[in-house]
């Protein structure tokens, strides 16, 4: 879907509800440059919010109902009573993200007003670019603003994550919601997921981000994801730790052969990925492409061999980008894995070469159809 302007959004809202909206909020999707499956291990991540977002136009109602229209799901409409217990709706599963957010805001004693909501967006769904986190964060903002409540961006992210963990059923970490809430223009954010502190890392002015959707449909994501998380917890427990952040790489390496091989490899990915993420953040801030490209390449290998979350087509796509970049571009799979997107970053002058190589080789080699998604690091959720 193309990017909407504010007037179009107001028109859609008026068509759905017969009056003008009182507020419009926007929350972006994200691309993760490096630091994969480290967030729920209390580790480091380096994502950027992108210029693809979820928008919500809203107005208050006098009753206790929320009327929600999802423009991108055939303008399906659901009515949710704020005072009733929240239940999943298999006929409108998109609305579970709204219901989950309501449940979590209520748990935290936020006042909630009835309202009319029109939701739309252009974050590609099921691509690993966090369309669901952007929806959760947008809903948190819309509902709190409608009720004259204020919420800190980090708390908004925590509410979104809790909605996904407790209501939707995916045991995700905090990265996606936090970058959607706190992203900064032209920058990535180095997040320490242990205490949620962030450091903005500006992207060199003449560098650009190119996301490529592999055309590989993400499958079994939730079950595989939750399984990886459980495997990491098993590895941490071997060292009497809650998470792998409490384990040093030397300690892990010394345990090879004592810890079962699968847990060992999962943990090795996480601990080496933490180190690579810190290295990559330094390299990005100093414009050191050679180091960044190496860290991203090693990250991909580690996701492929130790964490087992890539697919052969995606491995090929990364190889095509790396070869075309010839040391002048970083490339790796981004997001939870099992399909979805690859992220590359390079000086603007190198980007056309990357695009050309993808178009020339990828479909021929794999039978999968790529989509090029040029992206800009953008600011986190805001009201228009």
192 given a catalytic annotation: no
What spatial distance separates the first Cα and last Cα of the chain, rounded to whole Å?
A: 19
Q: How far is the CB of 28 from ligand GLA (least distance, A)?
A: 14
- The two tokens of residue 226 are 């939750």
Distance CA 335, CA 279 (A): 19
Nearer to ligand GLA, 39 or 233 (CB): 39
DSSP 33-51: SS--S-GGGT-EE-EEEEE
Nearer to ligand GLA, 71 or 332 (CB): 332
Neighbours of 156 (CB within 10 A): 27
For residues 102 and 82, is the Cβ–Cβ distance under 8 A? yes
Nearer to ligand GLA, 57 or 271 (CB): 271
| Cα radius of gyration (the chain) | 21
CA dist 156 → 60, 110, 136 (Å): 20, 12, 9
Nearer to ligand GLA, 37 or 67 (CB): 37
Distance CA 352, CA 345 (A): 12
Q: What is the DSSP letter of 60?
A: E
Marked catalytic residue, from 42, 176, 306, 315: 176
- 98-135: b (≥16 Cβ within 10 Å) or e: bbbbbbbbeeeebebbbbbbbbbbbbbeebbbbbbbbb
- Which candidate, 38, 8, 3, places its Cα nearest to that of 21? 8
Neighbours of 1 (CB within 10 A): 11
Nearer to ligand GLA, 23 or 275 (CB): 275
Q: How far is the CB of 165 from ligand GLA (least distance, A)?
A: 10
Which residues in this chain contact ligand GLA in the complex, by CB under 6 A? 36-37, 39-40, 172-173, 175-176, 335-336
- 82-92: b (≥16 Cβ within 10 Å) or e: beeebeeeeeb
Nearer to ligand GLA, 116 or 131 (CB): 131
Q: Which residues pair with 212 in a beta bridge?
A: 342, 372
Q: How far is the CB of 260 from ligand GLA (least distance, A)?
A: 22
Point out the residues that are catalytic.
176
């Amino acid at each position: 879907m193309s990017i909407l302007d504010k007037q179009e959004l107001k028109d859609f809202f008026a068509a759905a509800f017969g009056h003008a909206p009182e507020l419009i909020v926007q929350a972006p999707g994200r691309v993760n440059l490096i630091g994969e499956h480290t967030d729920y291990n209390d580790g480091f991540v380096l994502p950027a919010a992108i210029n693809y977002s979820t928008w919500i136009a809203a107005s208050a109602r006098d009753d206790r109902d929320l009327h929600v229209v999802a423009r991108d799901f055939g303008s399906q409409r659901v009515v949710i009573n704020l005072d009733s217990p929240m239940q999943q709706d298999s006929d409108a599963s998109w609305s579970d993200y709204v219901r989950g957010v309501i449940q979590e805001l209520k748990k935290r004693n936020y006042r909630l007003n009835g309202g009319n909501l029109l939701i739309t967006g252009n974050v590609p769904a099921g691509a690993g670019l966090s369309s669901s986190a952007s929806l959760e964060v947008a809903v948190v903002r819309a509902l709190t603003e409608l009720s004259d409540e204020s919420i800190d961006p980090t708390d908004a992210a925590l509410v979104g994550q809790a909605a996904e963990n407790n209501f939707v059923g995916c045991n995700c970490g905090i990265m996606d919601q936090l970058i959607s809430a706190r992203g900064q223009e032209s920058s990535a954010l180095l997040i320490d997921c242990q205490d949620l502190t962030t450091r903005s890392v500006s992207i060199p002015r003449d560098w650009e981000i190119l996301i490529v959707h592999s055309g590989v449909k993400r499958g079994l994501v939730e079950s595989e994801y939750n399984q990886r998380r459980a495997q990491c917890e098993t590895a941490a427990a071997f060292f009497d730790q809650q998470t792998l952040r409490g384990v040093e790489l030397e300690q892990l390496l010394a345990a090879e052969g004592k810890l079962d091989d699968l847990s060992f490899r999962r943990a090795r990915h996480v601990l080496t990925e933490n180190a690579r993420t810190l290295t990559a953040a330094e390299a990005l801030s100093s414009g050191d492409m050679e180091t960044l490209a190496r860290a991203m390449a090693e990250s991909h290998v580690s996701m492929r061999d130790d964490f087992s979350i890539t697919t052969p087509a995606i491995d090929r796509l990364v190889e095509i980008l790396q070869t075309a970049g010839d040391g002048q571009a970083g490339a790796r799979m981004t997001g939870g894995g099992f399909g979805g997107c690859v992220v590359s970053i390079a000086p603007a002058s190198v980007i056309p070469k990357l695009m050309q190589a993808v178009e020339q080789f990828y479909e021929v080699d794999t039978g999968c159809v790529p989509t090029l998604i040029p992206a800009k690091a953008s600011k986190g959720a805001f009201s228009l």
